[in-house]
Amino acid sequence: MTTLRPFCAADLLKINEINLDPLTETYGMQFYMQYLAHWPEYFQIAVAPNGDLMGYIMGKAEGTATNWHGHVTALTVSPKYRRLGVAAALMKSLENISEKKNCYFVDLFVRVSNKNAIAMYQNLGYTNYRTVLEYYSGDPDEDAFDMRKALSRDVDHTSVIPIEHPVRPEEVDG
């Protein structure tokens, strides 16, 4: 039960319940505004029948040549609206847009400890492409999995062939 619609700037004042989730980062206004200005189509929010904001996805398209891809910067769903497929619907919308933009793949970073999210992404067809060491700063820093899913343009799925050695954050472009 989801109305997906483009995220509006005024939604920033209403996403508190969603953002206070411990794994969701609240960024400075500038960060959100950059995304809204640059990739408005990639910033979608799910609204419940009662008007509650259920969750949102924020992403972008970047890279060149065969690295041209959609990237999920943030995906989060309020605890009130979990286990309903909201995240999957949001991911689907980002994949559709990336398909339309002729991207080769979609990628995302996830904390290695976030088992639930990893399982969900795997369900949606994402695989581990590589590990990024100490990608999340904190105490202690935490590694990330760079997960990918090939889109139809990457017929042979070359973009998702895993890289065995872990990489440093500075080696990750974009």
- For position 168 contacting another protein by CB under 8 A, the verdict is no
Residue type, 129: Y
From residue 123, how far is each of 27, 31, 55, 88 by CA, in Å? 28, 29, 19, 9
- For position 34 contacting another protein by CB under 8 A, the verdict is yes
- For position 81 contacting another protein by CB under 8 A, the verdict is yes
Stretch that binds another protein, among 65-73, 108-116, 124-132, 142-150 (CB under 8 A): 108-116
d(CA 12, CA 50): 18
- For position 27 contacting another protein by CB under 8 A, the verdict is yes
From residue 134, how far is each of 52, 53, 73 by CA, in Å? 35, 32, 17
User: Please, which of residues 51-70 interact with another protein by CB under 8 A?
Assistant: 52
- For position 30 contacting another protein by CB under 8 A, the verdict is yes
Tokens of 50: 């009662």
Query: Closer CB to another protein, residue 26 or residue 122?
Result: 26
Identify the H or E element spanning 149.
Answer: strand 142-150
- For position 72 contacting another protein by CB under 8 A, the verdict is no
- For position 162 contacting another protein by CB under 8 A, the verdict is no
Query: Closer CB to another protein, residue 17 or residue 154?
Result: 17
Total residues contacting another protein by CB under 8 A comes to 52
Q: Please list, in sequence order, all residues whose beta carbon lies within 8 angstroms of the beta carbon of residue 106, skipping any fewer than 6 positions away.
A: 69, 70, 71, 72, 94, 95, 98, 126, 148, 149, 151
Query: Closer CB to another protein, residue 85 or residue 169?
Result: 85
Nearest to 2 by CA among 50, 66, 61, 46: 46
Q: Where on the chain is the footprint of another protein (CB under 8 A)?
A: 1-6, 8-10, 12-14, 16-17, 19-23, 26-30, 33-34, 36-38, 40-41, 47-50, 52, 79-85, 89, 93, 96-97, 100, 113-116
